[in-house]
Amino acid sequence: MAKVKYTREFWVANTVELFERAAYYGFFIAITLYLTTVVGYDDIWAAWIGGVFSAGLYFLPPFAGAYADKIGFRKSILLAFALLTIGYTALGLFPFKAMVLPALAVVMFGGSFIKSVITGTIAKTTTEANRAKGFSIFYGMVNVGAFLGKTFAYPLRIELGLVYVNLYAGLMTFIALIVVYLLYKNADLVGEGKKLKEVWDSFVRIVANKRLIVLILIVTGFWIIQHQLYATMPKYILRTVGASASPEWIANMNPFVVVVSVYFITNLMRKVKAVYSMSVGMFLMPVSALAMASSYLLESFTGTSVSIFGLFTAHPITVMLIVGIVFQGLAECFISPRYLEYFSLQAPKGEEGLYLGFSHLHSFLSSLLGFGISGYLLTAYCPDPSTVAPELLPTAYDKAYYIWFYFAAIGVVAAFALLIYGKITDTFDKRKKNLTEKDVLESVEKELL
């Protein structure tokens, strides 16, 4: 059997995706820390700014993809990495309120092109014979990049400071820009030619589709909790454990668990209806939040140091955050693949691609809500130490773990809502099927008579 080869553009796209993900996750894990400790925003403003930035990255790609179809993928990807390099570098060099918002907008628009153009390149440079393997290579690069980005961000933050994390991100995207300029030569590589009006019309139809919009709202509950890896966890652990804590490395448990578990879990649940597979993940999410809230119980038994198999020690808060993140990773394996499957099946024939472009509307909503809620909860239970009187600091974080109870409540509501949703849609589908079969029988009877 002949070995299937991939084009140069395929390998270039995968390589620069690794650099882009390393830049993004290194920057994003510290976004609210940067906005508060360097730029000077309070926790609430930092949370809303981070939420709007993240929400834009999930909403804009279908529209950016339509524009990329017009100008071609090579020009689009060069534009994307140029914008990212300018934006990240500006965040590193000019950490002032007057510059930060425009710089974040530049990064947001650059990132929206990347999401559409890179996946479009993978699709266009593979065939039916090698597409599945091609996308598995792509998702491998995504996870490797995410892992490396957060891994390098920790020593950079500790040794040099948060602004250097942004400069590191700018360097990564600049390297990607050079690689694309030198090696991504196929100027004729274009997409499907969707017009902006077609994309907008698809968005309007999705919003008008009651079944889809309800599902999106329910799954938003899952992602609100998931987004706390970036919205709450970094400030929470640094304020409760200390400046030497590593939210970057702790967050890496999520992609690690997903990579290790997703194939096994997807295969295990392949015969289970998508909604019920997703329900398993939804019920794991409040368990995740409750685990994170349980650090005070562990500390009551172990003190402030937990021995990990006699090899090293960790703070109880660190241990329970890791336990919670493991549950989150497992939940994601039950939810994400089946959600995309279910979403695509609701699309009209021939419009699956456009519909899937908006499948991440839940992340648009959960970015806004998850980050927004986080800002208020941090202010109430885990405040910025610079805002706390010195005599109150020893007890300022005694109730910090209360934050996770709020997210556990959100997870419980979303999980039960998905179960109810599954029951209602099953009943509706059965009724519709019975009506259809009845119509067919009546038609046959009329013809026989």
* CA–CA distances in Å: residue 114 to residues 56, 176, 195, 206, 433: 13, 11, 18, 23, 42
pLDDT value of position 1:
45
How many residues would you count in the chain?
Answer: 449
Amino acid at 369: L
Q: Counting Cβ atoms within 10 Å, is residue 209 exposed (0-12), middle (13-18) or buried (19+)?
A: middle
Q: Counting Cβ atoms within 10 Å, is residue 179 exposed (0-12), middle (13-18) or buried (19+)?
A: middle
Q: Where are the domains of the chain?
A: 7-194, 210-384+392-449
Q: Is 350 helix (H, G, I), strand (E, B) or coil?
A: coil
* CA–CA distances in Å: residue 279 to residues 25, 216, 319: 28, 14, 26
Phi, psi values for residue 307, rounded to 5°:
-80, 130
Of 87, 229, 248, give the one whose Cα is nearest residue 159: 248
pLDDT value of position 331:
92
Q: Counting Cβ atoms within 10 Å, is residue 23 exposed (0-12), middle (13-18) or buried (19+)?
A: buried
In DSSP terms, 312 is beta-bridged to: 308
Domains 7-194 and 210-384+392-449 fall in the same CATH topology: yes
- Count of beta carbons in the 10 Å neighbourhood of residue 231: 28
pLDDT value of position 192:
54
Contact 61, 116 (CB under 8 A): yes
Phi, psi values for residue 314, rounded to 5°:
-145, 155
pTM metric for this prediction: 0.90
DSSP of 98-152:
HHHHHHHHHHHHHHHHHHHHHHHHHHHT--TTTHHHHHHHHHHHHHHHHHHHHHH
Q: Which two tokens stand for residue 135?
A: 């996308």
Phi, psi values for residue 294, rounded to 5°:
-90, 10
Of 151, 330, 158, give the one whose Cα is nearest residue 251: 151
The answer for residues whose C-beta is within 8 angstroms of residue 272's C-beta and 6 or more apart is none
Characterize the bridge pairing of strands 312-314 and 306-308.
Answer: antiparallel
pLDDT value of position 191:
54
Cα angle value 191/274/426 (rounded, 5°): 120
Give the architecture-level CATH label for domain 210-384+392-449. Up-down Bundle (1.20)
In DSSP terms, 306 is beta-bridged to: 314
Q: Is 314 helix (H, G, I), strand (E, B) or coil?
A: strand
- Count of beta carbons in the 10 Å neighbourhood of residue 14: 22
Q: Which two tokens stand for residue 372?
A: 């927004």
Give the architecture-level CATH label for domain 7-194. Up-down Bundle (1.20)
Give 10-residue mean pLDDT values along the chain (449 residues): 73 93 95 96 97 94 83 89 97 95 97 84 80 79 90 94 96 96 74 71 84 90 94 96 92 89 84 87 95 93 84 90 94 85 72 71 94 97 95 94 97 94 85 65 57
In DSSP terms, 308 is beta-bridged to: 312
In DSSP terms, 307 is beta-bridged to: 313
Q: What is the largest CA-CA distance in the chain?
A: 92
* C-alpha of 396 from chain center: 31
CA distance 41 to 181: 37
CA distance 58 to 45: 20
- Quick one: residue 126, left, alpha or beta (phi over 0 = left, psi -120 to 50 = alpha)? beta
Gap between the terminal Cα atoms of the chain: 58
Element (H, E) at 346: none
Q: Which two tokens stand for residue 111?
A: 């990132």
* CA–CA distances in Å: residue 142 to residues 13, 317, 378, 409: 11, 29, 30, 31
Contact 6, 130 (CB under 8 A): yes
